[in-house]
Amino acid sequence: MTKDLTSINDLSRDEILGLLDRARDLKQQLKTRPRVLLADGAMAALVFEKPSLRTRVTFETAIRQLGGSAVYLGPTDIGLGQRETVPDVARNLSRWVNCIIARVFEQDKITTLAENATVPVINALSDDEHPCQILADLQTVLEHRGSLEGARIAWVGDGNNVCNSLTLACGMLGVNLRVATPKGFEPARRFTDQAREYASSTNASIETSYDPAAAVKDAEFIYTDTWTSMGQEDEAEQRRKMFARFQVNSDLVAKAGKEVKVMHCLPAHRGEEITDEVLDGPGSVVLDQAENRLHAQRALLAVLLAK
């Protein structure tokens, strides 16, 4: 695979499947071997402009379980693009660490880091994409369904960064995706166009609409995320009104298949995009997704940092 993971597009179909196989094996090994020294002595820098629970903990845990270490650099530690230019940060970190894991606002910062670093750069979330989350999501679908090809996923809510990466991955892997958003909140056209291009050779169906009930019909998985992403807090009240009929609640879930699973990448705004009874219900696989962040990212680090 390429040196970096800036977008899910950096991976081929076979590379994604290979990472998922590796994640499955590492997850199984963890039961008896807490440390598998596939990146012994490696150092990762976590450059984070946004707060994090799952991303920070799972990446730090993953690198340590592989025999490496991590240093965390928060928003006030660097001032990415303000106190120092992004290229200068990339070039300096490349002299000290073996990998840069960045959680940023603008996608340009990820691509600029990758262009100027001599070590792997991983997109741990940007405003455009969240590829590591999607690897964990695919692993979760695989565990619950047994295969990815032909799976039916409904995305309900905001066409955000997670939705963008999911759309690309579904097209690439032959997964049928229906996205339902309010008008004006669809995933970016460049992502759906690329996904449909992939889907032309994988027999996947990539659909967008404004009807959540139609989107979830016969779905095997319903996926939602917060209506207001980091950096959009000023829009929160307006979004709550516009997204009200896109709430994933028991009525909407009942319109899907009887065995439907419910996904959320977390953190959840309970009572907004999803209700407690659904998030904590028997069909919820959100904690499986959260756990699989660790395993998918361990697999990714093992490949990128292999000596």
Does any domain span residue 185? yes
Domain count, the chain: 2
Based on the domain organization, do 184 and 232 belong to the same domain? Answer: yes
Estimate the crossing angle of helix 286-304 against helix 13-29, to 10 degrees: 110
Does any domain span residue 260? yes
The amino acid present at 58, given as its one-letter code, is T
Cα dihedral 167→171→173→176 (10° resolution): 80
Say which residue the tokens 């009525």 belong to: 251
pLDDT in the model for residue 235: 76
Phi then psi for residue 108, to 5 deg, are: -55, -30
Known catalytic membership, residue 178: no
Does any domain span residue 80? yes
Identified catalytic residue from 22, 265, 289, 298: 265
Based on the domain organization, do 99 and 207 belong to the same domain? Answer: no
* β-pairing verdict for 176-180 and 152-156: parallel
pLDDT in the model for residue 102: 98
CATH code of the domain in which 155 resides: 3.40.50.1370
Identified catalytic residue from 4, 127, 158, 225: 225
Residue 207 CA to its chain's centroid (Å): 20
Does any domain span residue 2? no
Identified catalytic residue from 56, 178, 264, 293: 293
Say which residue the tokens 């093992």 belong to: 302
Candidate from 190-194, 274-278, 303-307 with smallest mean pLDDT: 303-307
Based on the domain organization, do 168 and 282 belong to the same domain? Answer: yes
Does any domain span residue 3? no
CA–CA gap between residue 303 and residue 17 (Å, rounded): 13
Based on the domain organization, do 196 and 211 belong to the same domain? Answer: yes
CA–CA gap between residue 83 and residue 113 (Å, rounded): 15
Task: Give the chain's length.
Answer: 307
Based on the domain organization, do 26 and 145 belong to the same domain? Answer: no
| pLDDT tens per residue across span 211-251 | 999 999 999 999 999 997 766 677 778 889 899 999 999 99
Identified catalytic residue from 54, 130, 239, 298: 130
Known catalytic membership, residue 130: yes
Domain limits at 111?
A: 8-129+293-304
